[in-house]
A and B are shown apart, each in its own frame.
Chain A
């Protein structure tokens, strides 16, 4: 994976670069704070700068920097000097390792990092199962030989992480398969900036609980989201390949790094803190690895090669698992990813007639490099038909004031009175924001209905709630509330509303309610504004769907209650009598009905004696009865004098019969047949 160029090659590259940019040797020396003689020595190929200096040169001159000469390997962080031990990443354990949580967090991150706002950010989830040689080659290139001893000792520990690791190692050994889950985004910022300090790269790869997001409308401002990546890996192992939107060290493509989360462990008398990085050694920081610029072959070998040079990041979760446990196989996990993406991001994926969506998402499943399923694009109109229809109608301006057809979408405004900040003078600040409420009849395919989905920002769902005080018998509907920037407007009030609602969200971003932040930041009365807002959105929904109060047909309540005609809540003794459970019948060559019937019998000690009756079914008028030419007992019964005697205590029985074709009033093929059981009648 190393790419030796040599001192000579570097010198000529540097000379060419200086000439192209019209920078003198002395000028470069001054900017780098080295002697001009040193620069001359580099150009002449007599010496080569250290890696750090090469990066400094590349930062100044841009273009192709020197390929890194240091070998790439795993660097394990030594134990804390104070002897403190950590048995697992706290942030990773804040989440259940559930692929739907991962899909939600990772996709939200991608949305927040969208680069070109004229185009959607594209997200793809790839499930890839490796076995046999495919697995062996991957493990070799990953440096498994180095990692395995660490895993082994870490797995011996009694803590939760140890048990999870032991199980993962056992399965890898015994079943010999490994599931990779790769999360790609395109048209996103990428992990830009330096390896350390205040950069996006460092925020994801180095730090914990640090958010360094591009936009202030981002959702996960608590920085917990990325921990789900590591939580989803049974090995606590994630490899990263990022294509940067802004060059770093003169490069943009194939910035690779790997990070491993292990608990504290001892290997061969050395104590390790737990975390480890796959990268190249940093000469300035001993025992620490930094990202490296890889070649195509390396990226390919590590299953990290990206199909385009479009900026964005690929995360490879090694040993992905779904601890929620409701996904038995690859197909289940595939389906779960599709439905999670549909459920959480249908709004971002919905496009208007001439508006692109914010997000495109797809899921693909592979086994040993071969596609098991085609790439499945998540379609909001399939996953959330009514909600997606509502949003599209809004984007296209196709909404109505009142619903007159089932496919229509009604629009109403809900006013949010944003209070002034606590620091603002009484006469300034605050604004009135018109949130948009969309209501449409639910689709048959919708799993749940009569809910109100509230969103803000880049159309992220903050909460889904039931609408209160709906009149009984309301037809199923879906409602969507767009607040703040989710309305698509860019005004001062929109911005204020966005900030206000964000302050009203708890860390989970799943509610708009009274929070301490709200009370601390805004002027008095802020709390009741949020309550009013919630109340008004309910009222607006009711205003659209609420049926007018049923005007009763009169009469005193006391009497009406005694005259109800509903059968459902008055019938008693269900199934207390024998009944026909199932009949199958066909017309034979002679034109007679051949009938097989199954009978359900209620529990009773005594035997039942009943008469089986066959009649031709007619649309109106009396139904002609046809006699049996033959009636034969099946299970649990016998035939006596043309009656069925069911065995005492039996719960089911069967019989067969053939109708008497000579008594048919019409051709059997032109009629329907009814088979019934009834009490034997004396006259029958």
Chain B
């Protein structure tokens, strides 16, 4: 893991930000749109999409005693709302409340955001002659999700069940003979489109059915998943930012999750950062790119449990053959 040090004293105590209330266009919302455990605010809980602004009530706890005895002058506490996709950045200062905590609110403008914004908290102070240096931050930012109905961190891919021939999705029509399609571009998280126009697919992937239907279902699901993991890995490895010495940086978001999950299977002998460097350089320099393909396939198959579901399928076929014999 990377450790960053600053050339001035920073806070040892913890800095904690909490969202304690939310209002849409001035109307207070139920608390269950906020999850303190997940640190997520789900603004679409009420499935109202016509709101213009959301106001979040914030409360922060700072190590007050450390701040008052330390070398920090003009301490300020600011909440920062950012979303990479729209490159928006909103900053609001919090004020010290009577009980020692810091309180304030921040506005989420619907027009400035698209899907999901990060809400960070920074404590700044003047040190020496330099004003506004960051001396502390809440290491677990909140997520403000504009489209989610439940305040949960995204943990799976989007699975979109749609008829590829549907006029609403013209861009899928050219794939309409395919049973499924994995899409890693554009959207915030990768999406697996399942073609409802492909007869029997939905029923096959649904629940219930005979033993051999179940076996086939597992095997098809594994095949889709393996393709999805492979596509995701390629997408993730192809959009890395590099340090000056050519070291790739972790990309954040789902891309980082995918890389961290798969790299230990791609390069089991290397620590994650070195594995990332190896994977990136074999792609960028061409050297070892073909060998890497097999390694990616291995990692994706492991994720998708391809071997296990195929074995299950074969065993069940054997059994049904014996039963008939």
Contacts and interface: CB of A to CB of B under 8 A. Distances in A.
A579 B2 CA distance: 9
Contact of B35 (A473, A583, A672): A473
Contacts of A615: 243-245
Contact of B304 (A557, A562, A674): A562
Contact of B57 (A405, A578, A613, A625): A405
A679 B274 contact: yes
Contacts of B29: 404
Contact of B158 (A553, A617, A684): A553
B221 A562 contact: yes
Contacts of B7: 585-587, 593, 668-673
A332 interface: no
B264 A572 contact: yes
A492 to B, nearest CB: 37
Interface in A529-580: 545-548, 550-551, 553-560, 562-567, 570-573, 576-580
**Chain A interface category by residue count:** 35 or more
B1 A623 contact: no
Contacts of B45: 548
A640 interface: no
A676 interface: yes
A559 B151 CA distance: 22
A450 to B, nearest CB: 11
B6 A672 contact: yes
B261 interface: yes
B305 interface: yes
A554 B31 contact: no
A672 B133 CA distance: 11
A243 B97 CA distance: 46
B210 interface: no
Given A559-B159, A559-B225, A580-B3, A676 B273 contact: yes
Given A473-B37, A548-B32, A674-B2, A570 B225 contact: no
A555 B28 contact: no
Interface string B173-189: 00000000000000000
B172 interface: no
Contacts of A550: 149-150, 152
A404 B21 contact: yes
**Chain B interface category by residue count:** 35 or more
A35 interface: no
Given A555-B194, A565-B261, A675 B5 contact: yes
Nearest to B3: A583
A546 B34 CA distance: 12
Interface in A656-684: 668-676, 678-679, 681, 683-684
A479 to B, nearest CB: 14
B283 interface: no
Nearest to B134: A672
A625 B156 contact: no
B314 interface: no
Contact of A679 (B61, B159, B270, B304): B270
A564 B18 contact: no
Interface string B146-174: 00011110111111110000000000000
Contacts of B59: 406
Nearest to B18: A406
B30 interface: yes
Interface string A433-476: 00000000100100000000000000000000000000001111
Contacts of A634: none
Interface in B2-40: 2-8, 16, 18, 20-21, 28-32, 34-38
Contacts of B207: 556-557
A617 B4 contact: yes
B254 interface: yes
Interface in B52-86: 57, 59, 61
A679 B61 CA distance: 40
Contacts of A519: none
A563 B130 CA distance: 48
Contacts of A583: 3, 5
Contacts of A557: 207
Contacts of A216: none
A321 B261 CA distance: 56
B31 A403 contact: yes
Nearest to B23: A404
B107 to A, nearest CB: 17
A515 interface: no
Contact of A564 (B37, B156, B206, B243): B156
A22 interface: no
B21 A475 contact: no
A352 interface: no
Interface in B244-279: 244-247, 249, 254, 257-258, 260-261, 264, 268, 270-271, 273-274, 277
14 contacts: A403-B31, A405-B20, A475-B35, A548-B149, A551-B149, A556-B207, A556-B221, A562-B221, A563-B156, A571-B260, A673-B7, A674-B2, A679-B277, A681-B277
Given A475-B35, A565-B254, 11 more contacts: A404-B29, A473-B152, A474-B37, A475-B37, A562-B222, A571-B260, A582-B3, A583-B3, A613-B245, A669-B8, A674-B3
- Nearest first, the 8 A-B pairs at minimum CB distance are A555-B159, A577-B271, A406-B20, A562-B225, A405-B21, A556-B205, A404-B28, A403-B31
